[in-house]
Structure 1
Amino acid sequence: MTHVQTSNLKSLKKLNFSLEKICYQLSPNELTIAAINQKQGVVNNTEALVINTGQFTGRSPKDKYIVYGGAEKDRIDWSEFNNPLDPVYFEAILDEATRYLNARNALYVRDAYACADPKYQIPFRIVNELPAMNLFAYNMLIRPEEINKSVVTPDWHIISAPGLKLNPTKCGTRQGNAIIINFEKKIILIVGSGYTGEIKKAVFTVLNYLLPQQDVLPMHCAANMSSDGSTALFFGLSGTGKTTLSTDPYRRLIGDDEHGWSETGIFNFEGGCYAKCIHLTEEKEPDIYNAIKKGALVENTRFFENSNIINFNDSSITENTRVSYPLSHISNRVTNAMAGNPKHIIFLTCDAFGVLPPVSKLFLQQANFYFLNGYTAKVAGTENGIKEPKPTFSACFGAPFMPLHPRVYANMLEKQIVKNEVTVWMVNTGWIAGAYGEGYRIPLDISRKIIAAILSGKLGDVLFKPDPTFGLNIPLSCPDVPTGILCPRNNWKDGKAYDRQAQQLKNYFIDNYAKFATDNMNISEVFEN
């Protein structure tokens, strides 16, 4: 079953893996066939592989651990997302995972890279129990043949054993699943979870630790580029439209989720996209819809009855239905996934309180404030017990993946904004004319027109008026957008009710920001203009 000279797999031998069961660097078609033969998935009408990830249909951030030791113990921002694990426990889990995987009928091994910029590329070797998870690794990491590299000498290993359930008492974990990063040994262990996204985000966490040491800012953002080379970045938490709005037929996609910003510009960390596909339609998101074809991996969806056609509106398994596909499935893309310094940064938020303007321009201190807050809102139905809008804050728009203190990333972003004279905007893709349940969600075509006006430079030429509560610069007009929608207070039937709601959200911002504020900062200046 070995598809490569065993000498090329000596790193696995050192980790005590049995080499005779290894299926190395299989093609997407071979992996799809293997998954079908093992009854781990089926193909849909477009020949994409469709799987169910089992117990876990999303990330488990409270079960992510970083081995406590070496220089890392003084650098890591130990928190609810960066839990320390004793090295003794790591060795025990690694040994158990190795023995478990050696007992499987086959192991799927893949060599690939992270980081499109050759200067910062890191080779990873991925060992998967399941062929579908190896297909995910093929889709999401950078394939050696696409960057003219044939043989990979791995710097890091990712070992994935979703079928292994840990004994928390013996392993020092919270429960039977765990994601463990060992910076000293350069190993990522993922056990007990079949959710493929854990692979992607563990790699991202590693890069978020390593790259700042090379003066590269790692970012949880999408990026695209115009025909004249003008680059834009899109930050935003899940559900704000980051993937949807960055995948633009009039601009070339650099990447939809993770990027680095060096002194020379932007580069994608990944070789693919991992898009949400709940309520996906060809009309609203044609690029994503049409990327679901042979080689793509669709997770946790259901078919229409008596067919193999996916019902994208069915959320009975999870709202977090996903599809991964290589960037080559997007024709309108930057082929080398690199670009120059951005001209615009857009913070996307889905404000279910209905008080933030559809678009506003931020000055530097506001940009720092809203970056560190990383705001969006949950609405009724997203979690049990939520009956009204609930603010959600995630520092740097990606707190679970940031092993360093958020101020490290915020200071690096501020430096890049000043150095490159970048304009920063906040775009609300959430509610207007009232909170969730009373107002209405800003139509997608309006958000697209706002983004188009920003990126074309047309919005920079209009007059602005400061919002009285948040101090945000609101444009008095926007090309192709109804003027009446731009000022949120004017859209509420009861202006005083708006004021109360806006003040409540402002207080949420202030309370959350308190953990980041420095002694010499006057937070009131953020809301003044």
Structure 2
Amino acid sequence: MTTKTITPELQQILDTVKVHRNLSVPLLVETATQKGEGLLTSTGALSVTTGKYTGRSPKDKFIVRDETTENQVHWGPVNQPFDPEKFDKLYTKVLDYLKTKEELYVFDGFAGSDTEYRLPIRVINEFSWQNLFVHQLFIRPNAEELQAHTPQFTVIGVPGCVADPAVDGTNSETFIICSFEKRVILIGGTHYAGEMKKSIFSVMNYLLPQKGVMPMHCSANIGEKGDVALFFGLSGTGKTTLSADPNRRLIGDDEHGWTDNGVFNFEGGCYAKAIRLTEANEPEIWNAIKFGAVLENVLVDRESRLPDYDSDQLTENTRAAYPIDYIPGAVLPSLGGNPEVIVFLTADAFGVLPPIAKLTKEQAMYYFLSGYTSKLAGTERGITEPEATFSTCFGAPFLPLAPTVYAELLGEKITKHNAKVYLVNTGWTGGAYGTGSRMKLSYTRAMVTAAIENRLDSAEFVTDEIFGLAIPTAVEGVPADVLNPRNTWENKDAYDAQARDLASRFVKNFEKFDSVSDEIKSAAPRV
């Protein structure tokens, strides 16, 4: 069956070229190893490398600007416009490239575990390992669903098809271009599989707010009593790690929607950072890297096939992709009720934000819109060490609509469901990056657990003089002096100067949100 997203020209190619449709995991792994796309590790995972692109390439990402998107998309450096005619020509170029392939791989599945809001998708790949990746990351249909499957969005992933910027209108040989009118995403010139995952996330972020659903760049888990917790944060801040809690069940590690009935995962898998992974610190993730999992850019000894998770020789942004049911006790289908606790994760490279602070609703709105964190090495092309940044709603690279659309949805949800919000710094303590040290994972886990189990409700708090944040004076399992960041610095004057510097950055960044209420503006740090 053809749809708007599967043009007659594309359908003809799929009917002509040898197409492997919805292959099983063993067949995809077998094909990938036979073709030399990757090798099996000692645990049975498929190890692959992605060449010079080991992270997303945001400067090469575009949205076609047409009648469908003209007045909807928040145009700018993140949502770069692309000419419809140039898209059509590039689409033809991609189809011509597909015609040269002896074999193609197709995955049919869904984004969204809530059947009322899920998006049927098709992904077409030239490499079997990338088809294995999407098979594990998105939601896999059962036999009955597969028979009735009609894609509403198609991703064409062709790493070997490179653009000519002078002819094709791109910024480089790489392109990630979405047409909402044609419901097609073209990805070429990069082998990094995360582009496929995040492109569909961006699509969901465009479609769902129009249905009153809040799309979120967050992980989610659920306790024995059915209490749901959300973890917002950019790549590398700890979403996957903290949500994979042995005492709670995982709903999802990265992308969710929040309806009137609760939350649902967009995906059927997890995409965890693997750098410095240890069994002791992250046993759930460690044990999930088995047959069927995909390791991206992890150095592997060719003789023993042992992965070296400590090595950043290829990139800091090493990754492991695996289906969510590889995590013991994962919630299937990935649905949960309305969250009681929301955690904003930040990796503060300045080392001045507290490791945990309780936020008022106004502060929650302020810090959500600010989206402060540090881009960590390797997550994007050109990032070689932590870099302070403000990423609106903790997910600016993936938000096609105006930031206030998402912020207003969050505010409505917090009020309606009386959710508690905490800011948690998983970044540096005792000094800035290069001087201080990264916050111990065991401390962060203890603080997050205390928040989720409501043990901070009766805690004593002190107010940070610059940021106005409420900091608990004691948390079980955490040294008291760690809780107040100023106490961890040897040079208190240096801390004060660094804190004032970061506060001024917050204030300057927030100037662009002139339309928000005075109550939200009043939650700004004191400069």
Asked if these proteins are the same fold (TM beyond 0.5), I'd say yes
The change in CA–CA distance for 1:388 and 1:304 in structure 2 (over 3 A counts) is: closer
Q: 2:13 aligns with which of 17, 37, 40?
A: 17
Pair 1:341 & 2:326 matched: no
The change in CA–CA distance for 1:146 and 1:422 in structure 2 (over 3 A counts) is: farther
Distance across 2 between alignment mates of 1:425 and 1:243: 17
Distance across 2 between alignment mates of 1:121 and 1:192: 29
Instruction: Determine the structure 1 residue equivalent to 2:120.
Output: 123
CA deviation map 1:168-227 (0-9, x unaligned): 121111111101111011111111111111100000010000000000000000000001
8 Å contact from structure 2 (residues 235, 379) kept in 1? no
Pair 1:102 & 2:99 matched: yes
Pair 1:267 & 2:264 matched: yes
Distance across 2 between alignment mates of 1:425 and 1:67: 37
Give the alignment's Cα RMSD to 1 decimal: 2.3
Distance across 1 between alignment mates of 2:302 and 2:207: 48
Distance across 2 between alignment mates of 1:187 and 1:8: 11
1:35 match: secondary structure: helix
Distance across 1 between alignment mates of 2:144 and 2:483: 45
The change in CA–CA distance for 1:252 and 1:388 in structure 2 (over 3 A counts) is: closer
Distance across 2 between alignment mates of 1:316 and 1:411: 42
Distance across 1 between alignment mates of 2:483 and 2:179: 48
8 Å contact from structure 1 (residues 46, 292) kept in 2? yes
Instruction: Determine the structure 2 residue equivalent to 1:457.
Output: 454
Instruction: Determine the structure 1 residue equivalent to 2:467.
Output: 470
Distance across 1 between alignment mates of 2:511 and 2:408: 17
CA deviation map 1:387-427 (0-9, x unaligned): 99742111111111100011110111111111110000011
Distance across 1 between alignment mates of 2:97 and 2:380: 35
Q: Number of residues paired by the alignment? A: 523
The change in CA–CA distance for 1:155 and 1:519 in structure 2 (over 3 A counts) is: closer
8 Å contact from structure 1 (residues 275, 288) kept in 2? yes
Instruction: Determine the structure 2 residue equivalent to 1:208.
Output: 205
1:118 match: secondary structure: coil
Distance across 2 between alignment mates of 1:250 and 1:10: 42
Distance across 1 between alignment mates of 2:386 and 2:522: 25
Distance across 2 between alignment mates of 1:394 and 1:178: 22
8 Å contact from structure 1 (residues 205, 401) kept in 2? yes
Q: 1:46 aligns with which of 43, 46, 51?
A: 43
The change in CA–CA distance for 1:153 and 1:421 in structure 2 (over 3 A counts) is: same
Pair 1:299 & 2:299 matched: no
Letter of the aligned partner of 2:210 in structure 1? Q
2:13 match: secondary structure: coil
8 Å contact from structure 2 (residues 56, 381) kept in 1? no
The change in CA–CA distance for 1:497 and 1:188 in structure 2 (over 3 A counts) is: same
CA deviation map 1:315-362 (0-9, x unaligned): 111111111111111122111100000000001111122211111001
Letter of the aligned partner of 2:524 in structure 1? V
Q: 2:82 aligns with which of 70, 81, 85?
A: 85
Letter of the aligned partner of 1:175 in structure 2? S
8 Å contact from structure 2 (residues 160, 188) kept in 1? yes
Q: How far apart are residue 442 of structure 1 and its match? A: 1.8
Distance across 2 between alignment mates of 1:378 and 1:97: 32
Instruction: Determine the structure 1 residue equivalent to 2:348.
Output: 351
The change in CA–CA distance for 1:469 and 1:137 in structure 2 (over 3 A counts) is: same
Structure 2: runs of 5+ lacking an equivalent: none
8 Å contact from structure 1 (residues 373, 396) kept in 2? yes
The change in CA–CA distance for 1:189 and 1:525 in structure 2 (over 3 A counts) is: closer
The change in CA–CA distance for 1:490 and 1:220 in structure 2 (over 3 A counts) is: same
Instruction: Determine the structure 2 residue equivalent to 1:135.
Output: 132
The change in CA–CA distance for 1:435 and 1:9 in structure 2 (over 3 A counts) is: closer
2:70 match: secondary structure: helix
Q: How far apart are residue 520 of structure 1 and its match? A: 5.0
Q: Which moved more, 1:381-390 or 1:168-177?
A: 381-390
The change in CA–CA distance for 1:278 and 1:226 in structure 2 (over 3 A counts) is: same
1:370 match: secondary structure: helix
Q: 2:324 aligns with which of 324, 327, 332?
A: 327
Q: 1:232 aligns with which of 219, 229, 233?
A: 229
Q: Which moved more, 1:430-439 or 1:395-404?
A: 430-439
The change in CA–CA distance for 1:136 and 1:432 in structure 2 (over 3 A counts) is: same
8 Å contact from structure 1 (residues 353, 505) kept in 2? yes
8 Å contact from structure 1 (residues 272, 327) kept in 2? yes
The change in CA–CA distance for 1:51 and 1:330 in structure 2 (over 3 A counts) is: same
Instruction: Determine the structure 2 residue equivalent to 1:372.
Output: 369
Pair 1:485 & 2:482 matched: yes
Letter of the aligned partner of 2:265 in structure 1? N
The change in CA–CA distance for 1:219 and 1:108 in structure 2 (over 3 A counts) is: same
- Identity among equivalent positions (%) equals 46
The change in CA–CA distance for 1:389 and 1:175 in structure 2 (over 3 A counts) is: closer
How do residues 161-240 of structure 1 correspond to structure 2 at under 5 angstroms?
A: 161-240=158-237
CA deviation map 1:28-54 (0-9, x unaligned): 111111111111111111111111112
Letter of the aligned partner of 1:526 in structure 2? A
Q: How far apart are residue 13 of structure 1 and its match? A: 4.5
Q: Which moved more, 1:303-312 or 1:251-260?
A: 303-312
Q: Which moved more, 1:487-496 or 1:372-381?
A: 372-381
The change in CA–CA distance for 1:61 and 1:461 in structure 2 (over 3 A counts) is: same
Distance across 2 between alignment mates of 1:269 and 1:387: 30
Instruction: Determine the structure 2 residue equivalent to 1:282.
Output: 279
The change in CA–CA distance for 1:19 and 1:9 in structure 2 (over 3 A counts) is: farther
Q: Which moved more, 1:34-43 or 1:426-435?
A: 426-435
How do residues 399-438 of structure 1 correspond to structure 2 at under 5 angstroms?
A: 399-438=396-435
CA deviation map 1:150-171 (0-9, x unaligned): 4311111111111011111211
The change in CA–CA distance for 1:380 and 1:136 in structure 2 (over 3 A counts) is: closer
Distance across 2 between alignment mates of 1:454 and 1:249: 16
1:72 match: secondary structure: coil
CA deviation map 1:108-162 (0-9, x unaligned): 0111001000100111111111101110110111000189554311111111111
Pair 1:255 & 2:252 matched: yes
8 Å contact from structure 2 (residues 506, 524) kept in 1? no
CA deviation map 1:303-324 (0-9, x unaligned): 2363211111111111111111
Q: 2:149 aligns with which of 149, 152, 155?
A: 152
Letter of the aligned partner of 1:476 in structure 2? T
